[in-house]
Structure 1
Amino acid sequence: MSRGAGRRLVGMNNTTTTTALLADKVAFITGAGRGIGAAAARLFAREGARVLLASRTETELKAVTEEIRAAGGTADHVRCDLADPESVRAAVDRAVELYGRLDVAFNNGATVQHPGPMDELSEADFDRVLAVNLKGPWLAMNAEIAAIRATAGTGAIVNNSSVGSLMANPWLPAYGAAKRAVNSLTASAAATYGPEGIRVNAVAPGGTMTKMIDDWEAATPGILERLVAQTPLGRGADPHEIAEAAAWLLSDRASYVTGVVLRVDGGSRA
């Protein structure tokens, strides 16, 4: 059992033992080398899961994997390009090879477009954003569902969407469109695979302090200040706050939740 597999809560008059959120689960995470994905990998491992980290950058994956192992968790990594169908399928298969099954998956990996109006975006960039941010999750879900069916039998998937998918997105129109399509795929998958005991949900983060938003700020100075001004909590999210929402949705504590796009946005769409 991993270090995070059990916890003891001590009150003034009693003692209660609780099970970690993802105890004994096998978890697959895309975009796990940094940002929300890396935060999720660390959290899922602390919560008892055996994790397989996937992304394109092996040096980042290795660093996060070693950090998890040093903390007593179980982790490995595999290079994965979400725009390459064979790479995606091989990455999911690797989780089964390593750990014997797949229980849960967090489809977090994404790419961002250069900020600006849609008529200034090149066709090549549009195709790239859709290949990674829409086709990538579609490929991953197909492989994950097959792996869950063949091994654990039941399980859960969370897709990382965006609060920008829930409204007009003049700064990131292709990104917002791809993420809105992911919401639709999420709902369709939830309806299709729910009878088999496979739940599918999404999280929709607001402005989160990752390299992606740093790059957006560099290209559009002042955008972070504008986003924070629209957020009742008055700040951007830390990546671990998004990971916490994903972990809950993947856990058995969310056993009657499926087809949901959960806003984790500090109230910006309240």
Structure 2
Amino acid sequence: MPARFTDRTVLVTGAGTGLGRAVALAFAAEGAKVVVSGRSAATLDETALLIEALGGTAAVVTADVSRAEDTRRLVRETVETFGGLDVAVNNAGVFRGGASAADFPLEDWHTLLDTNVTGVLHSLQAEIAHMRAHGGGAIVNVSSNLGPHVRIPGVFGYQVSKAAVSAMTRAAALDHIAEGVRINAVSPGASESAMSLRPGETEAERAVRMKDESPLGRISTASEVAAAVLYLASEDAGSVVGADLVIDGGVSA
């Protein structure tokens, strides 16, 4: 496969672990200069070292997307480090579950909205401000199949927050495509991430559970989710605008 992102600058939030790390590594493998961001410098440093071990180029910028000033600084430091911003992947998110709508703790509600919804808005605003002034770019928001595409009991707040990400993606895509900023989303289901493990569940137990819960019979791999992100960010998806690509093995089909 040709390197689709050679000399492109890519920013990935929530890149210290899980899907964010896999996405950052995938972009680096296709020639991108990658800025990895999140709240923990230690895990971000690990991601950067993995990229550099593969011969890629990475920089670390710590930021909390729930703070607008952090996202503005993140984009500014990305541009200062690598000279621009071509692609952004808004992956940072948190999970809070285990309660119905009537019993959902307000503290958890505010945490979910601050990071999963307002955090995506902060990121979009900072990224679009740069991109529309410099010839455009591509943005991929990471949502979830839970909320926009399928609902289950006991995951009220998380599902609401991710439904908002899907709606925000579509609305922002229409607002900014004429300015050359192309915005889409991916909605993974259970995947190669700690977030898909139930409390106390092992990976082996999850694999057994998914044989019954997924038509595909397994979780999605991190590389499968990353491949979808890279497609949406690439010129191959040049006419894909406001899409929400579900990657869940048929759970929401």
TM-score by length of 1: 0.88
* Residues 163-174 of structure 1 aligned to structure 2 (within 5 Å): 163-165=145-147, 166-174=149-157
Q: Look up the match of 1:245.
A: 228
Residues 144 and 228 of structure 1, relative CA distance in 2, 3 Å threshold? farther
Question: 2:138 aligns to what SS in structure 1?
Answer: strand
Q: Secondary structure at the match of 2:153?
A: coil
Residues 57-94 of structure 1: per-residue CA shift (max 9 Å, x gap):
11000011011112110101111112111112111211
Distance 1:86 1:146, change over 3 A: same
The alignment status of 1:175 with 2:166, answered yes or no, reads no
Aligned residue in 2 for 1:96: 79
How far the C-alpha of 1:226 sits from its partner, in A, is 4.7
Which position in structure 1 is the counterpart of 2:98?
Answer: 115
Q: Are 2:104 and 1:144 aligned?
A: no
Identify the match of residue 56 of structure 1 among 22, 34, 39.
Answer: 39
**Aligned residue number for residue 191 of structure 2:** 208
48, 56, 60: which one aligns with 1:65: 48
* Structure 2 residue aligned with 1:21: 4
Match of 1:85 among 57, 68, 85: 68
Deviation at 1:116, TM superposition (A): 2.6
Q: Which amino acid aligns with 2:139?
A: I
Q: Tell me the equivalent position of 1:12.
A: none
Q: How far apart in 2 are the matches of 1:212 and 1:183?
A: 19
SS in 2 for 1:117: coil
Select the residue among 134, 141, 158 that pairs with 2:140: 158
Find the aligned partners of 1:242 and 1:104 in 2 and give their Cα distance.
16
Q: Deviations along 1:189-225, whole A, 9 cap, x unmatched? A: 11011111211000010101212123x3438xx7775
Superposition RMSD on alpha carbons, in Å?
A: 1.9
Please, which runs of 5 or more residues in structure 1 have no aligned partner?
A: 1-6, 8-18
Pair 1:224–1:124, CA change in 2 (3 A)? farther
Q: Distance in 1 between matches of 2:82 and 2:72?
A: 16
Question: 1:217 touches 1:224 (CA, 8 Å); kept in 2?
Answer: no
SS at match of 1:76: strand
State the one-letter code of the partner of 1:130.
L
In structure 2, distance between residues paired with 1:263 and 1:217: 25
How many residue pairs get aligned? The number is: 251
SS at match of 2:200: helix
User: Segments of 4+ in structure 1 off by > 6 A?
Assistant: none
Task: State the alpha-carbon separation in 1 of the partners of residues 250 and 150 from structure 2.
Answer: 14
Is the alpha carbon distance of 1:238 and 1:217 closer, same or farther for their aligned partners in structure 2, counting shifts above 3 Å? farther
After TM superposition, the score normalised by the length of structure 2 is: 0.93
Secondary structure at the counterpart of residue 74 of structure 2: helix
- Shift of residue 230, structure 1, vs aligned partner: 2.6
Task: Give the whole-Å Cα distance in 1 for the aligned partners of 2:152 and 2:159.
Answer: 6
Structure 1 residue 122, shift from structure 2 partner: 1.0
Q: Does the aligned pair in 2 maintain the 1:134–1:179 contact within 8 Å? A: yes
Query: Counterpart of 1:69 in 2: which secondary structure?
Result: helix
Provide structure 2 residue ranges, at least 5 long, that are not aligned to the other structure.
none
Contact 1:217–1:223 (CA under 8 A) maintained in structure 2: no
SS in 2 for 1:53: strand
Structure-2 separation of matches of 1:170 and 1:97: 45
Q: Which moved more, 1:245-254 or 1:119-128?
A: 119-128
TM-fit CA distance, 1:169 = 3.3
Q: Deviations over 1:82-112 (max 9, x none)?
A: 2111112111211111111111100001000
Counterpart residue type for residue 159 of structure 1: N
- Report the counterpart of residue 193 of structure 1 in structure 2: 176
